[in-house]
Each structure stands twice: as C-alpha cells, then as structure tokens.
A and B are shown apart, each in its own frame.
Chain A
C-alpha cells in the first residue's frame, strides 16, 4: 500500500509570515497534486507537478516536486487569512490511481 505523509499536521501563523508544508512517501509517483479544502466544501486542485525537480509558482504559492518523485513541498509567501484551509497532497501512481495524504490544516490569523 502506498502511503503519503504530510507535515506538519497543524500550523497556525500570523498574516504576513512565510510557511512550508511537506508531503513525503517511500513510493515513486508519476505525478503529484496539491488540493486546498475549505470547511464544508470538497477539495479544489491547486497544481499538478509531473517532472522530478519541477518547481511551479502560483502567485504566492511555490510547489516543488522532489528529484526522486517521492516528495513535494508547498511554500506560501506572505500568508493571508484567505489561505486558511486544509492542504492535501495526492500522489498519482503509474496505474493512474490516486493516493491522498492526511493533510495539513493551516490557520492564518489576522
């Protein structure tokens, strides 16, 4: 069974601070996705990374896929209260099946 771990589990920061959350596995994935989920709603895709070592930027969010395709990180610069939510990583294996991590719950305080 492929497993994804995410750290930290919980993170509470002040508006304007920077943060990084991590997604790790012992398995290799063909690609990896990051989703954000707000209370009472389903997850929404933020980004897909497909190449080992790839870095993608989405405004204040920077996503990196590890060289070995086993891990990923999400860095948020100058966090805003609107960034509050549950951040989920999902690995896609070569059989096109999804494996979700348990998530990092981020609270950005004003």
Chain B
C-alpha cells in the first residue's frame, strides 16, 4: 500500500497562475483533508471532506477550491496564485469513526513557491 500520495512534490508559480494539487489514498478512508504548513504556525486546515461528495471549509479556505473526485482522490486548486500562498501543502486521510481515535495519515507534501 502506498498510503497517501501527493503530486507534484515541488512547484514554482508566478502570481496569477493557476494549478491543481493532487492527492490520493488507498486505505479506503472516508475523510480527507488539505492543510498548509508555514513556519511557526503548525498545520492549518484549508478544506476537508468527511465523505465522498461532501466538502467543508476549514480555518483558511480563501483562495482555494477543492474537489472530492471519488473516495480515493481529493484535489486542491489555486485559481489565481498569490505570494501569500507560498507554503508546504499536506493532504491527509482518516477513518472518521467515533469509536476509533481518527489517526490522520499524511502524504509527503507539496512545496509551493509563488513568485
């Protein structure tokens, strides 16, 4: 099993360009998440999807859109990139089961620089 995979690993964009970050998981998890990680600020939730067909905003959704394409895949789109979106982006998945403790499994991250 590959766990959670993300593409690309690195990306450089110019201000105003658009791009989509891809994420896939092979653990049959219902819930998927997109986070950004900035120095000194930990992980901040951008969007999450509790199940296929549903998406919800997290703490910092402005400037982003998401698509839960199917149970495996959850993509993050930047429509018009801004330098403030320079960050490391992590996708995660978990089994949202109230009897378990919802371990999140993270991908390796995408390092995005917006010039």
A46 to chain B, nearest CB (A): 10
Residues on the B chain within 8 Å of A103, using CB: 42
* Residues of chain B from 84 to 115 with CB closer than 8 A to chain A in the complex: 90, 92, 96, 98, 101-104, 106-109
Output the nearest chain B residue to A103 by Cβ-Cβ distance: B42
* Residues of chain B from 1 to 29 with CB closer than 8 A to chain A in the complex: 4
Q: Does B53 contact A (CB under 8 A)?
A: no
Q: A42-B92, A42-B108 are in contact. Are A33 and B103 (CB under 8 A)?
A: yes
Do A42 and B90 touch (CB < 8 A)? yes
A-side interface residues, number (CB < 8 Å): 25
Residues on the A chain within 8 Å of B102, using CB: 92, 96, 98
Output the nearest chain A residue to B41 by Cβ-Cβ distance: A102
A92 to chain B, nearest CB (A): 6
Q: A9-B40, A88-B42, A96-B98 are in contact. Are A43 and B103 (CB under 8 A)?
A: no
Q: Does B82 contact A (CB under 8 A)?
A: no
* Residues of chain A from 87 to 102 with CB closer than 8 A to chain B in the complex: 88, 90, 92, 96-98, 100-102
A40 to chain B, nearest CB (A): 7
B67 to chain A, nearest CB (A): 21
Residues on the B chain within 8 Å of A41, using CB: 108-109
Do B106 and A44 touch (CB < 8 A)? yes
In this complex, the member of A35, A42, A96, A98 whose beta carbon has the largest number of chain B beta carbons within 10 angstroms is: A42
Residues on the B chain within 8 Å of A33, using CB: 101, 103-104
Do A40 and B108 touch (CB < 8 A)? yes
In this complex, the member of B4, B45, B106 whose beta carbon has the largest number of chain A beta carbons within 10 angstroms is: B106
The proximity string for A residues 54-79 relative to B, scoring 1 for CB distances below 8 Å and 0 otherwise, is 00000000000000000000000000
Taking Cβ atoms with an 8 Å cutoff, the residues of A that contact B are 1, 4, 6, 9, 31, 33, 35, 40-45, 48, 50, 88, 90, 92, 96-98, 100-103
